[in-house]
Amino acid sequence: MGREQWKKIWVGSAGNMVEWFDWFVYATFAVYFADAFFPEGNETANLMNTMGIFAVGFFMRPVGGWLLGRIGDRKGRKAALTLTVTLMSASAILIAVAPTYAVAGYGGVAVLLVARLLQGLSVGGEYAASATYLTEASAPGRRGFASSFQYVSMTAGQLVGLGLQIVLQRTLSEDALHSWGWRVPFIVGAAGAAIVFYLRRSLLETEVYAESGAAADESRGTLTALWAHRREAVLVMALTMGGTVAYYTYTTYLTKFLSSSAGMTKPTASLVSFCALFVFMCIQPLAGMLSDRIGRRPLLVTFAVGSTFLTVPIMTLLKHAGTFWPAFGLALLALLIVTGYTSINACVKAELFPTGIRALGVALPYALANALFGGTAEYVALWFKKAGAESGFYWYVAGCAAVSLVVYLTMRETRDIDLNRGAVQDPAGRVPEGLGKASPSTL
């Protein structure tokens, strides 16, 4: 992989890290600011209200996926990446200055809601823009490795957020964190987004997009063009379903689960998440490299089988883990299983579509799946908890993984698809008879 390709991956990943830092710190710091925006009352109810607003951000992701996916296909990947980080910076500033319930009543909730809507727009386009960019910027035989850096950067953003939380927990009192300390990460996020905006302005367009002739096609990035690839779009939603539920269960929800259900202190729960996520981040490129050698489907199937049959016992044991090391071991096991999805899902989705519709083709169906399953995961978990049937959520996660397992077992391998031609090639570079364009029948 050449120096220029590494530069593209680095700049694209750095922006992705800041985007997801801003996105995840809302969830990780919700336990501290949930009571600030609602009247005093039941702590679980206030947390549910706050996470309900978190879920609203997910429902804006399809809009962001459509808008920024269209821009990515019509104006280029660079234009979409620059716009996403601008929107994220604005949303972080809004949350940082949002007035509390004691100051402005439900006015603070309104500001919080607007900020989450902007974040939803931004992240809805960021995933597809970065997935497409990282996949297109890599050499054909290294796409799994290169695209794995999307979840490296996503996890790095979450780790920075968790690390900042741990520092604040150890330097500020509980009262200070609930009073004003929770605003610090959003200020940091806004500053980071401003730096990334500068970096992305100098970003080079991918050669696949620049040389494809897609920019001259008037149908590029349109819903009409996406409709012609509707089967691939449905496939993206189906293969995302189990992965996104499992990912959000063991990342954003894990800290809350350990503190509220397993009885751990908040600092210990945060440390468990931080350590497990750090190892998880480090193994993403290794799994991506493995997929370049053996294909994407074996990793996806491994994830789905593990999540289907091990989610219930892992979550049950986590609830009774009690101390750091058992919780860390179980959390790491869960994230190792999830790696089969996270390390390669970006390139798998990008490989399904031709260049002129790739950004929108990844963005919209993925955002819809996240709105329905990923964004609601924590809310569903808290709903089961409030209803006194918390184990029901474990079976819900396992069921979603089972649906995706069926998809993984029936879909075709995408590793050898030529992004320039949308064709599947053999190792000698010949196009196998009968495959030609990547179409629903080849997938």
| pLDDT, tens digit (0-9, with 9 covering 90-100), for 277-316 | 999 999 999 999 999 999 999 999 999 999 999 999 999 9
C-alpha distances in angstroms, 211 versus 126, 325, 346?
23, 52, 22
b (16+ CB within 10 A) / e for 226-255: beebeebbebbbbbbbbbbbbbbbbbbbbb
**Highest mean pLDDT out of 19-33, 47-61, 311-325:** 311-325
Q: What is the pLDDT of residues 68-125, one digit of tens each?
A: 999 999 888 888 988 998 898 899 999 999 998 788 888 888 888 899 899 889 988 8
More reliable by pLDDT, 434 or 281: 281
Average pLDDT over residues 331-345: 97
| 251 Cβ contact partners less than 8 Å away, ≥ 6 residues apart | 24, 155, 158, 273, 277, 335
**Highest mean pLDDT out of 16-20, 217-221, 262-266:** 262-266
**What is the token pair recorded at 249?**
């269960």
Question: Tell me, what's the pLDDT at 233?
Answer: 95
Nearest to 313 by CA among 334, 298, 294, 283: 334
Q: DSSP alpha helices (H): ranges in 202-322?
A: 207-212, 223-227, 230-250, 254-260, 266-294, 297-319
Q: What is the pLDDT of residues 398-431, one digit of tens each?
A: 999 999 999 999 999 999 998 875 434 443 333 3
**What is the token pair recorded at 372?**
């329905």
| Global confidence as pTM | 0.83
Q: What is the pLDDT of residues 195-250, one digit of tens each?
A: 888 888 877 788 888 777 655 567 788 999 999 999 999 999 999 999 999 999 99
